[in-house]
Amino acid sequence: MNKKKVMTMVLFMAILLLIGDIIVVKGTVWMHAKGNANEQRMSEEFADETGIQESTQEETTQVLQSEEDVTKTDTADIEQSLVRIAVKQSAGMGIIWAVTEDNVVIVSNRHVLTGDVEAQVTFADGEQLTAEALGYSAQYDIAFFQIRTGQIPQELLWEIAEVRRPLEIAWQERTHSGTVIIQADSEEAAYQGTIHQIQYIPEFGTDMLVTYCYAKAGMSGGGVFDEEGWLLGMITGGEAAGSGQKEAWITYSIPSPIIEQEYQLLVE
């Protein structure tokens, strides 16, 4: 056997070993980004507290792909209802839930806001404003912030929009397994995937919308939309293919009817 063939075989075996490691190594990822270099690592205690699950080998094999293979899509129809959120030690996303005469209400994950009473909000056009805490869900990983309407430039009020959210019956019709969905991140990009199932996750204490779609740190509090722009859920956590990774291929999202239920409890 000549030297060229030997080198080819060695390279082939190395690739097989690498692929094997990727498939069998299991890990977790939480979708918020820490605010400074000392906090860039993912906290094992935090992951345990939030109940992020590890993928089984079979599940990971089904959804594993390279970032280059991710289907990105246009977010023009939904970007006006999404914001970026930053607090002292964390960052994530938020969804514009309600626009009233008095305030603009933004929903995000409670773990993104980490108990802060104020958050820096960046809108799609780059405008930055300070939001104050409105209330937190006692049961779910949900938090509401508000910005007083008087603080918001009129031009921005014309541009932003309440997210389109279906009633529960319509939501059930839009969340069948295999339905194409869009998950937006905080860098003005979005990724296309599919709904896997609605599954009760004990660590979250509720049914969660489980999707096969690329997600990464910083996407907590972002939306899961169908192709018509209707909000189906809020990204809350996910499963990574490898230990220590900050990217996931299976994501868990709180269904939008639950968020509406918590909002109504807050404003009543």
Print the domain residue range for 116. Answer: 80-163
Residues 100 and 221 in one domain: no
**Total of domains in the chain:** 2
Has residue 41 been placed in a domain? yes
CB count in 10 Å sphere of residue 146: 19
Q: What is the chain's pLDDT, residue by residue, as a tens digit (268 residues)?
A: 544 443 333 333 332 222 222 222 233 334 444 443 333 322 232 333 333 344 443 443 344 344 444 555 556 668 889 999 999 888 999 999 999 999 999 999 999 887 668 999 999 889 999 999 999 999 999 999 999 999 999 999 998 988 998 888 889 999 999 999 999 876 667 889 999 999 998 888 899 999 999 888 889 999 999 988 999 999 999 887 655 556 778 999 999 999 999 999 998 8
136 domain-assigned: yes
89 and 132 assigned to the same domain = yes
- Is the domain of 197 the same as that of 219? yes
Q: Are residues 60 and 177 in the same domain?
A: yes
From 110, 142, 163, the end of a domain falls on 163
Residue 19 lies in a domain: no
User: Considering only CA atoms, which of 181, 250, 205, 238 is closest in space to residue 32?
Assistant: 238
Q: What is the pTM of this model?
A: 0.74
Q: Would you say 177 and 197 are in contact if contact means Cβ atoms under 8 Å apart? A: yes
The answer to whether residue 23 is domain-embedded is no
Confirm if 255 and 233 have CB atoms less than 8 A apart. Answer: yes
Separation CA 130–CA 86 (nearest Å): 10
Say which CATH number the domain at 196 has: 2.40.10.10
Q: 200 and 186 in one domain?
A: yes
Give how far Cα 107 sits from Cα of 30, 151, 229, 258, Å.
Answer: 18, 18, 17, 12
